Amino acid sequence: FIIALVSGLTAGSKWVGKVLSLYWYDAIVRDSHAIYFESKTMYAANQITRAVDNVDQRICQDALALTVTFGNIVFGGDTQNSVTQTFATIGFAIMLLLFQGYWFVVLSCLAYGFLIMLVCVCLVRPITAAMYAKNKREGDFRFVHARAIEYSESIAFYDGTAREHEVAGQAWERLYDVYYKLLRVEFPQRFAMKLSATSAGIIGFVLYFIGRFVKSTTT
């Protein structure tokens, strides 16, 4: 019964997450269309200002990636657990430990989890900056190729192929540097997450048996 209940709640949580993500995606697309197709905004966004590159991709792909990723984190995806499931599991374990009187185990595990959370937050900050730089450089790289396609006739007529080759190469070098930097800053965070996931169960069992030993010696 418990297995069936947990399976149903897990599947239901993922389904609700997908539905809410779809509703959010629909709201973002409709609001974006209302702004994008108002007056001369579309012309200005594509021809005058370069503050936002590839507006079509921002509406079609980035909005979808945002809503799906957030839904997977909160409610769980096809290959990952969710924050909701994690907190439910932790809450159930804490309830059992408190019911048996193992306050030491509960407080120690909570302190360990809080420490890991602080470490991961500190390690995520450079990743956020690197991801922003990566997205910007990817946009610049796509823009170089899109511009070459759009003005290919003029480039060929004025013999500007070598110059475009140089510009594309420079854009790729900047993007490659950002990719490499992202790999470097991601490793400490991935290591900390893997270490915490691997050691959490071991530490929990060790603290549990320590608590049992202390409880048996004091009674």
The pLDDT tens digits of the residues spanning 164-213 come to 889 889 999 999 999 899 888 888 877 777 776 666 666 666 666 766 66
- What is the tally of structural domains in the chain? 2
User: For the purposes of burial, counting CB atoms within 10 Å of the CB of 102, is it exposed (0-12), middle (13-18) or buried (19 or more)?
Assistant: buried
Per-residue pLDDT at 176: 92
Residue 198: predicted pLDDT: 67
Same domain flag for 120 and 40: no
Based on the fold, state whether residues 123 and 137 are members of the same structural domain: yes
| Contact between residue 148 and residue 168 where contact means Cβ atoms under 8 Å apart | yes
Say what the pLDDT of residue 173 is: 92
Q: pTM of whole model > 0.75?
A: no
Query: Do 105 and 58 fall within a single domain?
Result: no
* Domain shared by 105 and 95, yes or no: no
DSSP tag of 59: I
Q: What is the pLDDT of residue 189?
A: 78
Helix axes 103-150, 161-218, angle to 10 degrees: 170
How many CB atoms are closer than 10 A to CB 52? 11
Same domain, 217 and 126: yes
Are 58 and 109 within one domain?
A: no
Residue with more model confidence, 186 or 14: 186
Residue 106 φ then ψ, to 5° = -65, -50
Range of the domain at 153: 101-219
209 and 118, same domain (yes or no): yes
